[in-house]
């Protein structure tokens, strides 16, 4: 197997792992299981950096001006790297899947942020209107109770 074929195979493998992480991120966002999200995002960011390095190295090796998977397939064919074409096609498909998942995950994150912002607005409005207890333990604001917190 040639050096180029090895580079393409490794890139396809790492891109497959990246798509798996995007799917895990999607599942966590969909289930609102945000506790697991930090480790997935950290690993996804690490892998994204590695993929960028691998892609740039492959582009330099193949002297690609454009950075698309379609250009990769054309360059491999032009160089006679037929053994790498299957992995080149996998890179194209995985790149499309990653793009789709990234868009979906972005939409889920935007919706979560919208809901969180709305909840904060509601809580802030309520806290300005009805302070239940002051620092002295007595009721203040819109509610009028005569008992202190320790006697409630």
Maximal C-alpha separation, the chain = 87
Question: Would you state the pLDDT for residue 131?
Answer: 57
Residue pair 92/70 in contact by the 8 Å Cβ criterion? yes
| More reliable by pLDDT, 142 or 63 | 63
User: What's the rounded mean pLDDT across residues 131-152?
Assistant: 56
3-112, CATH topology level: Methane Monooxygenase Hydroxylase; Chain G, domain 1 (1.20.58)
Question: Would you state the pLDDT for residue 71?
Answer: 85
| Dihedral over alpha carbons 96, 98, 99, 102 (to 10 degrees) | 160
Residue that has been written with the tokens 């740039």 in this structure: 56
**Bridge partners for 139 per DSSP:** 133
Whether the pLDDT of residue 141 is over 90: the answer is no
Global pTM reads 0.78
Domain ranges of the chain: 3-112
2 sits in the region (left: phi over 0; alpha: psi -120 to 50; else beta) called: beta
Whether the pLDDT of residue 147 is over 60: the answer is no
Question: Would you state the pLDDT for residue 145?
Answer: 46
* 97-135 per-position pLDDT tens digit: 999 999 999 999 999 999 989 988 888 887 776 556 666
Spatial separation of the C-alpha atoms in residues 76 and 64, rounded to whole Å: 10
Measured CA to CA in angstroms, residue 131 lies from 120, 135, 137 at distances of 16, 10, 11
């Amino acid at each position: 197997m040639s050096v180029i074929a090895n580079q393409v195979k490794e890139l396809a493998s790492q891109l497959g792992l990246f798509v798996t992480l995007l799917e895990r991120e999607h599942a966590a966002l969909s289930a609102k299981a945000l506790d697991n999200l930090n480790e997935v995002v950290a690993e996804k960011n690490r892998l994204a950096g590695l993929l960028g390095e691998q892609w740039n190295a492959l582009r330099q090796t193949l002297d690609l001006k454009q950075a698309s998977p379609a250009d990769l397939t054309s360059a491999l064919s032009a160089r006679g790297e037929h053994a790498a074409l299957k992995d080149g096609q996998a890179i194209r498909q995985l790149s499309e899947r990653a793009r789709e998942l990234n868009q979906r995950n972005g939409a889920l994150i935007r919706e979560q942020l919208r809901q969180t912002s709305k909840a904060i607005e509601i809580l802030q409005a309520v806290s300005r209107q009805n302070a239940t207890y002051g620092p002295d333990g007595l009721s203040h604001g819109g509610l009028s109770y005569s008992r202190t917190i320790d006697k409630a």
